[in-house]
Structure 1
Amino acid sequence: MPVAHPESIGIIGAGKLGRTLASLSLAAGFSVLLHGSGPRARTARIIETFAPGAVAATLDEVVAADIVVLAIGLSDAEELDSALFHGVVVDPMNYWEEADGPRPDFDDAAMPTSVLVKRWLPGASVVKAFNHVAYRDLAGGSRRAGDPHRWGIAVVADDTRSAAIVAAWVDALGFDPVVIEDLASTYALQPGQALFGATLSSAELRRQLG
């Protein structure tokens, strides 16, 4: 069962988004485990430069964290071993044809990519978050609670408890969580849609999400 108050964040992917979320999480007081695609020593060097305080970890160690983040390519996520994932999994991924190849099934309004991720990882509680704001904006966008310039981050899930857990993490990182309980609604957050790349207040984000 997911923990009510997350303390550890496991991030799969040591690229720009993974490093950004690791750095923000460390600053907010979370313990961070980071798993990169290369040798563990390479991930450790990345951590030393971009997220000092995080721990280079194996995949088995990362998936044991309170929240697991898939900061990898969408087509790479399709190849993950579903047997490893049983808790809260955050999906910040987007479809990019130059990285994933031509995949019409990844750009289908009737089947948002997060719904596909949920099918790939049936034992996990998948939560869509952090996909609609660029990593560069996230890196410098953290604000204290109550700041009128604080941005909203969509937190979308079919599971209310998992959404609440991720919302607490989003809030701790310095953003206002906008919780939506319908994973099938996430196409509005994907590339090419009006909300993608926008930095909006939580009130405006909620209004546009309907």
Structure 2
Amino acid sequence: MKIGIIGAGNIGGNLTRRLTALGHQVAVANSRGPESLKALVEETGATAVPATEAARGAEVVVVTVPLKAVPGLPAGLFDGAAEGAVVIDTGNYYPRERDGRIDAIEDGGLTESRWTEQHLGHPVVKAFNGTYAQDLLDRPRPAGDPERLALPVAGDDEAAKRVVRALIDELGFDSVDAGGIDDSWRQQPGTPVYGLREGVEAVTRALAEASPERPAAHRA
């Protein structure tokens, strides 16, 4: 599969490592340009590209940048993507530590991924946002293993969610359907499932126990 990854931080870098190792064709981009990705390219065999080219021909595009950087991504980012391309949003809103106040999230009632989706102009599937980056390297397990971790996945397009869940399975993790993007508050920072290292049953229970009220520590 041809996969574009926009953002080469902890999650983006480790997804690049895992997905190339699984045989996928990965193009990776960051805000500093292809030259800054030389070490990652040499390590993984991925192709470093400008952000404007990361989605070109891609069947899956992973957007893994700070929320505050989303509005600054190039216009028409997905114009050259494959028909029906699936966009994965791994983002989280950290108003105090990084992103500053975003009124549409704080006051407008938008989930973080709905806000991101509106800025990208393309439907998204929310996944990997509560995953420890190192777990992508250290914690994959075969299907049926009692220690296999489960990740929540939210999105409005059922076919797109199936693609993402299949990719998560290939990476060595189970997944739990967390509903649509308007339900994705259940996996945002401060919820029971965020950062949870457990299997399907515990992740399903944690999603059900979430409150729609954003914790004070995660508000501006």
The normalised TM-score by structure 2 is: 0.83
Partner of 2:37: 43
Q: Mind listing any 5+ residue stretches in structure 2 that lack a counterpart?
A: 80-84, 209-220
Partner of 2:17: 23
Give the Å deviation of 1:21.
0.9
Partner of 1:55: 47
SS at match of 2:197: coil
Give the Å deviation of 1:82.
4.4
Give the Å deviation of 1:92.
0.6
RMSD, aligned α-carbons: 1.9
Q: Do the aligned residues in 2 keep the contact of 1:44 with 1:55 (CA within 8 Å)?
A: no
Q: Which amino acid aligns with 2:100?
A: G
Partner of 1:3: none
Q: Do the aligned residues in 2 keep the contact of 1:152 with 1:205 (CA within 8 Å)?
A: yes
Q: For 2:190, which of 173, 192, 204 is the aligned residue?
A: 192
Aligned-residue identity in percent = 33
Q: Do the aligned residues in 1 keep the contact of 2:113 with 2:124 (CA within 8 Å)?
A: yes
The answer to whether the aligner puts 1:164 opposite 2:162 as a matched pair is yes
Q: Do the aligned residues in 2 keep the contact of 1:67 with 1:88 (CA within 8 Å)?
A: yes
The answer to whether the aligner puts 1:8 opposite 2:2 as a matched pair is yes
Q: Do the aligned residues in 2 keep the contact of 1:95 with 1:107 (CA within 8 Å)?
A: no
Query: Structure 1 residues 103-112 or 187-196, which shifts more?
Result: 103-112
Q: How many residues align?
A: 201
| Aligned mates of 1:129, 1:195 — CA distance in 2 | 12
What pairs up with 1:84-123 in 2 under 5 angstroms?
84-85=77-78, 87-97=85-95, 98-107=97-106, 110-122=109-121
The normalised TM-score by structure 1 is: 0.87
Q: Which amino acid aligns with 2:31?
A: S
Give the Å deviation of 1:103.
3.1
Give the Å deviation of 1:207.
2.8
Q: Which amino acid aligns with 2:189?
A: P
Q: Which amino acid aligns with 1:110?
A: G
| Aligned mates of 1:36, 1:110 — CA distance in 2 | 30
Give the Å deviation of 1:71.
1.3
| Aligned mates of 2:108, 2:142 — CA distance in 1 | 35
Q: For 1:66, which of 48, 56, 59 is the aligned residue?
A: 59
| Aligned mates of 1:91, 1:184 — CA distance in 2 | 14
Q: Mind listing any 5+ residue stretches in structure 1 that lack a counterpart?
A: 1-6
